[in-house]
Amino acid sequence: MRWSDTLIPTLRDAPQEAEIPSHKLMLRAGLMRRLAGGLYTFLPLGLRALRKLEAIVREEMDRAGALEVLMPAAQPRELWDRSGRYAVMGELMYHVTDRQKREMVLGPTHEEVITDLASREISSYRQLPKTFYQIQTKFRDEIRPRFGLMRAREFIMKDAYSFDTAWDAADRSYQAMYDAYARIFARCGLRTRVVEADTGAMGGKWSHEFMVPSEFGEDGIVECEACGYAANLERAERAAPAFDRPGGGGAPPPEEVATPGRSTIEDVSQFLGCAPERLIKTIIYVVDGKTVAVCCAGDREVNESKLRRALEASVVEMADEAAIRRVTGARVGFAGPWGLSIPVYADLGLDGAADYAAGANRDDAHLRHVVLDRDARIAARHDLCVARGGDPCPRCSGALRERRGIEVGHVFKLGTKYSDSFGATFLDEAGAARPLVMGCYGIGVTRTLQAVVEQCRDDKGIIWPLSVAPYRVALLVLNPGDGGAGEAAGRLAADLEARGIDVLLDDRDERAGVKFNDADLLGLPLRVVVSARGLAAGKIEIKPRAGKEVAQAPLEGAADRIAAMCGE
Amino acid sequence: MRWSDTLIPTLRDAPQEAEIPSHKLMLRAGLMRRLAGGLYTFLPLGLRALRKLEAIVREEMDRAGALEVLMPAAQPRELWDRSGRYAVMGELMYHVTDRQKREMVLGPTHEEVITDLASREISSYRQLPKTFYQIQTKFRDEIRPRFGLMRAREFIMKDAYSFDTAWDAADRSYQAMYDAYARIFARCGLRTRVVEADTGAMGGKWSHEFMVPSEFGEDGIVECEACGYAANLERAERAAPAFDRPGGGGAPPPEEVATPGRSTIEDVSQFLGCAPERLIKTIIYVVDGKTVAVCCAGDREVNESKLRRALEASVVEMADEAAIRRVTGARVGFAGPWGLSIPVYADLGLDGAADYAAGANRDDAHLRHVVLDRDARIAARHDLCVARGGDPCPRCSGALRERRGIEVGHVFKLGTKYSDSFGATFLDEAGAARPLVMGCYGIGVTRTLQAVVEQCRDDKGIIWPLSVAPYRVALLVLNPGDGGAGEAAGRLAADLEARGIDVLLDDRDERAGVKFNDADLLGLPLRVVVSARGLAAGKIEIKPRAGKEVAQAPLEGAADRIAAMCGE
């Protein structure tokens, strides 16, 4: 392809909308353009990279035995009522009312549609296992679309759904997708980290995320270098802290202190001259309709998913002001774990907590010299807080490290959540009807493309891996009219294209400096330069984008050499 | 691919929803399933055919020099306000309001988005010509989705847009797309007919449609066998009828007849004992705000596009009751072309009309013995009615024949309609800003797939052309466990797949009759049968789906023979 025949509107400066390096580079290299917040048009160069990435995904899905299908983006609302997710998804889904006044949603995911299909088309164990996938456009009404393709309102996903006769069979399907994901990201040139993850709105029993480590990632993850444990902060466990604490035996009794108007951790900490981690934070929750108190150290945040799992509950919500007053007898900000008629759950970070301060369950008052086990009745202790760097690893004696990551893939063991809602059963060998056991699996295809750019770049531009580069070779002709350079470059490009190597021939009437800069910005894996001066010596110049070394190579046999460098 | 590993839920009977043969066959052959009205899920077999069709479209677009891009389905409403099409599209577009209360539309087409893009990225004649295309999902809120993929609410289109410096250059881009379309449909095995067409909501100067002749087509077309003229009924011209009419010279003067309550053509015709084609129908229109009368023979329908073009107007609407009363002095149903203070336009079918009947412009009264030219003042005569079979050809002395067709492609010369709205200009060689001259081009990709099925079938099922068949070979093993038949078939399938020929291996534990019937229903181009009995004689059986002859072929060398029949 000749540069002058396509459209690659490179930019010297990134538009203001772009906040992170990959987003800036994708705009500057002319891969895409913004249509509106969270909506992007792929220009020819960006789409070529996207199609190559999709082809890798498709190949690995097919290799894993998954069957490609294509489901509509528009889905009848009734399906979402049936799964109970209409309410759960809330404003994240786009709603469309057609002219018959029927409501449809634009699917942010397709569990409902595929389970409905499976309930109709799968009837016997003989048809199982089956895994279906699609590469399809999804819609989400993000509160704050940002970072280009990282959090877009319309994006391409590969979603897959497995159906099995039983849990152990479902585990094999899960593992097959897990392995395929690992191959896909490796082939895209991405270094990923697999972390344990929360199942969130998807439901289900267990999940893993494939994360691309990046300071600009929207997800927090912790990992233990000693044993390899890694998890999303939403999910990450932690062990009880091992440090010695003052015992509660000889401590003085609790003492009430007036703390007029001091209702936040920060205020109380300053007022009492006591570090936040030596305060006990007490939060009133409504868990499946029952009111409970949860306490943890003042410098920690409760992880509501952990609370939900620990209490084996479905819905966890913070109590409102009236309920807090009713339960504690005090305004918000003065709750403490004692004298309550509701169960009190303590975070394991408070194990052996002695000489702490906490709310007095009376307006404008706190207690100090509190020894938790002595002064309060704790119903149970659990890991209830969000983990963070420095926490003890839950698997070994190491310490957790905190990082940021971009979630590019997510695999879920769903179990029978959806098959139960849709009555998706099969007849087993004995002729008994049993629910299909499901898994679901997603790759953010457009997000993965940007993650490649985020991970593969330097200060001059993108450094595409061969596998997903829009073209594998950037062929620059300096002064195309000079000494047959244009013709020689055209012949070389044709020779390479005949070998199946895609070439972007920069035939523009531009200065050499512009072409070199654009070549670095676009980041095609091999830069080949043809100039009249080189040709006079029978030479061309070859430089891998990722390397520093510029090689002079004979024009004779150059195509062979370039093809070999492209792995052909 | 083994049948048992994929999902091909064939049906003996078509579901009730299916009305036309191709729709029935696509459901029966397990190519797709209905999710809701006008929404279909492609199952593995259907998607394979669709992807092959898309690949043909992509190859031919690339060959024609078009550049692939991908635009969002969701588009800001403002773009449609800018082109003035928000109102024109009306309820046909889906509207989505996001959580910021901003309105977006789901694009039924992308002129607005691409012209906005071109206005930003194309600035010089040096960048021209450029044609962009995408293969993308479109949404239309059809009043009556039907016939499966023929009129769906979500469907895949290939849309393309050309940008040129001037009309003659735009004509070349148009021709390149026209030629590419002809190649695409030919490669899909479709016989198409190119017809002149109306530009409708798209606007523009000129257009052609690619039609697949079919009794179930939703479009009416007329064609002249003598000269080859062909056009969509919405557009088709016709010459004045050549038959002799009684002259008006000796006719008696008009006579008023009481026609109480007879306001329709049918009623008046019966009441007066006068054939509908001898009545003059007079309709009051508002054309760009001006009221006019249009008259034609009672058995014809006014074609409002023709009226709009004839009067060089933008908006043509029927007048409301109050306006009709004001203009004619009578209720609806009693209008006639005389004594009106507004211009009267006559259809050319009324040339020389004598001894007709028509409304008297008085309630419950008509006139008879009317001679149009004598009794009314006609402002102008034009071809204003919808053409039909039997009408004189507008190009030669032949007669038009009427048929039905499925529109699979449509090419438009748009001119500067959109570039003007979006200020999309370029600088010419003299440095002057001039508007981009555009064309736009669409192929209904999913509709084309069904059109192939509609055209390529018999009473037993589909007869896929090699180019878009889901698999090229149906390999049936009869009694797979018998005499090594399963193993022999497996080896043959592997041998063919190694040559790049896709094979569907029917390894099911089903009776031979079921397999033969399903093979005919699925309609893969070549049916190959492996059975223990055949193998004992060293033979297999080969039959093209389109033919009648069953050939016995030696197992030895069978792959070569099959590959040759597949054109490899």
DSSP state of A560: H
Tell me how close the Cα of A314 comes to any Cα of chain B, in angstroms. 27
Architecture of domain B17-71+109-217+402-453 in this structure: 2-Layer Sandwich (3.30)
User: Can you tell me the mean pLDDT for A379-387?
Assistant: 95
Helices and strands of chain A, counted as H and E runs: 16, 31
Does B137 lie at the interface with A, CB-CB under 8 angstroms? yes
Contact B439, B251 (CB under 8 A): no
CB contact under 8 A, A69 and B143: no
CATH superfamily of A464-565: Anticodon-binding domain (3.40.50.800)
Distance CA B529, CA B478 (A): 7
B17-71+109-217+402-453 against B255-382: fold identical: no
For residue B88, the model assigns a pLDDT of 84
Q: Which of A9, A47, A106 sits opposite B70 (nearest CB)?
A: A47
Task: Give the nearest chain A residue to B136 (CA atoms).
Answer: A137
**A 313-342 residues with CB < 8 A to B:** none
Contact B405, B194 (CB under 8 A): no
Q: Which of B72, B95, B139 sits opposite A39 (nearest CB)?
A: B72
> How does residue A91 score in pLDDT terms, banded at 50, 70 and 90?
confident
Chain A residues inside the 8 Å CB shell of B126: 4
Helix (H) or strand (E) holding A528: strand A526-530
Of the CA atoms within 13 Å of residue A453, those in its CB half-sphere come to 32
Strand pairing category for B344-347 and B380-382: parallel
For residue B481, the model assigns a pLDDT of 83
Q: State which residues of chain B have pLDDT below 70.
A: 201-204, 242-250
**In terms of pTM, does the model score above 0.95?**
no
CATH superfamily of A39-236+403-453: Bira Bifunctional Protein; Domain 2 (3.30.930.10)
> How does residue A248 score in pLDDT terms, banded at 50, 70 and 90?
low
Six token digits for residue B259: 């026609």
First to last CA, chain B: 19
Helices A445-455 and A21-28 meet at what angle, rounded to 10? Answer: 100
- CATH 3.40.50.150 assigned to domain B255-382? The reply is no
For residue A32, the model assigns a pLDDT of 98
Q: Which of B153, B274, B279, B143 is nearest to A106 (CA)?
A: B153
Contact B74, A139 (CB under 8 A): yes
**A 504-563 residues with CB < 8 A to B:** none
* Separation in Å, CA A112 to CA A74, A435, B39, B152: 12, 15, 15, 21
CB contact under 8 A, A72 and B41: yes
For residue A243, the model assigns a pLDDT of 53
Chain B residues inside the 8 Å CB shell of A149: none
Residue at A527: amino acid letter: R
Q: Which of B44, B71, B122 sits opposite A69 (nearest CB)?
A: B44
The separation between CA B155 and the C-alpha centre of its own chain, rounded to angstroms, equals: 14
pLDDT at residue A482 greater than cutoff 90: no
Chain B residues inside the 8 Å CB shell of A39: 72, 74-76
Distance CA A438, CA A286 (A): 31
DSSP state of B25: H
DSSP state of B124: B
Tell me how close the Cα of B154 comes to any Cα of chain A, in angstroms. 7
CB contact under 8 A, B6 and A120: no
The residue with tokens 């913070």 is A318
Pick the CATH number of B471-565 from 3.40.50.800, 3.30.2000.10, 2.130.10.10, 1.10.260.40: 3.40.50.800
pLDDT at residue A205 greater than cutoff 90: no
Distance CA A530, CA A24 (A): 30
DSSP state of A529: E
Kindly provide the ipTM of the predicted complex, given to two decimals: 0.92
For residue A419, the model assigns a pLDDT of 97
CB contact under 8 A, A95 and B96: yes
Helix (H, G, I), strand (E, B) or coil at A24: helix
pLDDT at residue A368 greater than cutoff 70: yes
CB contact under 8 A, A106 and B96: yes
Chain A residues inside the 8 Å CB shell of B94: 74, 96, 98
For residue B65, the model assigns a pLDDT of 97
Distance CA A43, CA A51 (A): 12
Does B89 lie at the interface with A, CB-CB under 8 angstroms? no
Q: Which of A35, A74, A98 sits opposite B113 (nearest CB)?
A: A35
User: Can you tell me the mean pLDDT for A406-431?
Assistant: 96
Contact B489, B55 (CB under 8 A): no
Helix (H, G, I), strand (E, B) or coil at B92: helix
**A 18-47 residues with CB < 8 A to B:** 33, 35-36, 39-44, 47
Contact B413, B437 (CB under 8 A): no
For the purposes of burial, counting CB atoms within 10 Å of the CB of A321, is it exposed (0-12), middle (13-18) or buried (19 or more)?
exposed
> Does the N-terminal peptide bond of residue B129 adopt cis geometry, omega within 30 degrees of 0?
yes
Helix (H, G, I), strand (E, B) or coil at A191: coil
CB within 8 A of A530, min separation 6: which ones? A475, A476, A477, A478, A485, A488, A489, A492, A540
Task: Give the nearest chain B residue to A39 (CA atoms).
Answer: B72
Beta strands in A350-444 (DSSP E): 356-359, 365-370, 380-382, 400-415, 425-427, 433-435, 437-444
Task: Give the nearest chain B residue to A63 (CA atoms).
Answer: B1
Helix (H, G, I), strand (E, B) or coil at B546: coil
Tell me how close the Cα of B237 comes to any Cα of chain A, in angstroms. 34
Domain locations in chain B as residue ranges: 17-71+109-217+402-453, 255-382, 471-565
Mutation target vs B (from A96, A97, A105; most B CBs, 10 A cutoff) = A96
CB contact under 8 A, B33 and A121: yes
CB contact under 8 A, B9 and A44: no
Backbone dihedral angles phi then psi of residue B77, each to the nearest 5 degrees: -55, -35
pLDDT at residue A43 greater than cutoff 90: yes
Strand pairing category for A230-232 and A290-297: unpaired
For residue A2, the model assigns a pLDDT of 97
- DSSP for B378-444? -SEEE--B---TTSBPSSSSSBEEEEEEEEEEEEEEEETHHHHHHT-EEE-TTS-EEEPEEEEEEEE
Chain A residues inside the 8 Å CB shell of B154: 72-74
A&B contacts, CB < 8 Å: 130
CB contact under 8 A, A76 and B6: no
Task: Give the nearest chain A residue to B142 (CA atoms).
Answer: A99
Backbone dihedral angles phi then psi of residue A372, each to the nearest 5 degrees: -55, -50
Helix (H, G, I), strand (E, B) or coil at A28: helix
For the purposes of burial, counting CB atoms within 10 Å of the CB of B373, is it exposed (0-12), middle (13-18) or buried (19 or more)?
middle
Mutation target vs A (from B3, B4, B31, B41; most A CBs, 10 A cutoff) = B41
CB contact under 8 A, A41 and B104: no
For residue A536, the model assigns a pLDDT of 94
Backbone dihedral angles phi then psi of residue B127, each to the nearest 5 degrees: -85, 0
Tell me how close the Cα of B224 comes to any Cα of chain A, in angstroms. 40
